[in-house]
Amino acid sequence: EADIYQTPRYLVIGTGKKITLECSQTMGHDKMYWYQQDPGMELHLIHYSYGVNSTEKGDLSSESTVSRIRTEHFPLTLESARPSHTSQYLCASSEFRGGFGNTIYFGEGSWLTVV
Amino acid sequence: QKEVEQNSGPLSVPEGAIASLNCTYSDRGSQSFFWYRQYSGKSPELIMFIYSNGDKEDGRFTAQLNKASQYVSLLIRDSQPSDSATYLCAATNFGNEKLTFGTGTRLTIIP
């Protein structure tokens, strides 16, 4: 199991504001991910990281950016929030189980509403 | 065609019965498969993973994998109302750092 902490859990902000969603994990996992999920809809991978100083864009194009300066920390930033950014953002990290791929564990999510 | 496909449901099952959730995948290179449960408004939580053909049991849950048919299923025995949730199937290759998720099947257990 992984302990993954996301803050804030719920946020309402105005259009044009800059916002950073924080994500920290305490298990020393190298790989971390950000997913975006609208209510009742499927998960979309927007960013991932293999380790410190590694960041990659995911399958869904996103105007957000990420950084990975420390193993345990993977923040996501929106420079100028828009109503279209309203969604749930899920941070995750993964544990490598030998040859069987990575098992991903999720944080509790950050609900962002842009008004 | 999506890489991982699930029937979106809703699937309604009487309490105490067996719930059967199905998933197909298109990438023959997929090696490991995962089932996640997601309650409304919550994040997904891992139920179990499987990588070998056949059945894998964990409590009331059984995952089944058939690589020849590219088919994964999850059986929930003695279904409880607390099992009502959306169940996500996911697949990954060896060395692939990303998990590909299906759209999920919404399961409702009827008391």
- pLDDT for res A40: 83
Span of A107-111, B22-26, B28-32, B69-73 with lowest mean pLDDT: B28-32
Do A109 and B98 lie within an 8 Å CB cutoff?
no
Question: Tokens 């999506």 correspond to what residue?
Answer: B2
- pLDDT for res B95: 64
Residue B6 has pLDDT above 60, yes or no: yes
Q: Which of B45, B51, B104 sits opposite A42 (nearest CB)?
A: B104
- pLDDT for res A99: 60
- Residue B107, SS3? strand
CA distance B9 to A21: 32
pLDDT, one tens digit for every residue, chain A (115 residues): 558 999 999 999 999 999 999 999 998 898 999 999 998 888 999 999 989 999 999 888 889 999 999 999 999 999 999 999 999 999 999 877 666 667 889 999 999 999 9
**Stretch B79-85: mean pLDDT, rounded?**
97
Half-sphere exposure of B100 (CA within 13 A, CB side): 20
Span of A1-5, A10-14, B43-47, B100-104 with lowest mean pLDDT: A1-5
Q: Which of B31, B42, B44 sits opposite A101 (nearest CB)?
A: B31
- pLDDT for res A97: 64
**Stretch B69-93: mean pLDDT, rounded?**
95
Q: Which two tokens stand for residue A74?
A: 């993977």
Residues of chain B in Cβ contact (below 8 Å) with chain A: 31-32, 34, 41-46, 49, 51, 88, 90, 92-99, 101-104
CA distance A108 to chain B (A): 5
**Stretch B45-65: mean pLDDT, rounded?**
94
Do B97 and A108 lie within an 8 Å CB cutoff?
no
3-state secondary structure B60-99: CEEEEEECCCCEEEEEECCCCHHHCEEEEEEEECCCCCCC
Interface A:B, Cβ pairs < 8 A: 57
- pLDDT for res A62: 84
- pLDDT for res B9: 83
Q: Which residue of A has its CA nearest to B44?
A: A106
Q: Which of A41, A47, A100 to mutate to test the interface with B (most CBs of B within 10 A)?
A: A100
**Stretch B42-66: mean pLDDT, rounded?**
94
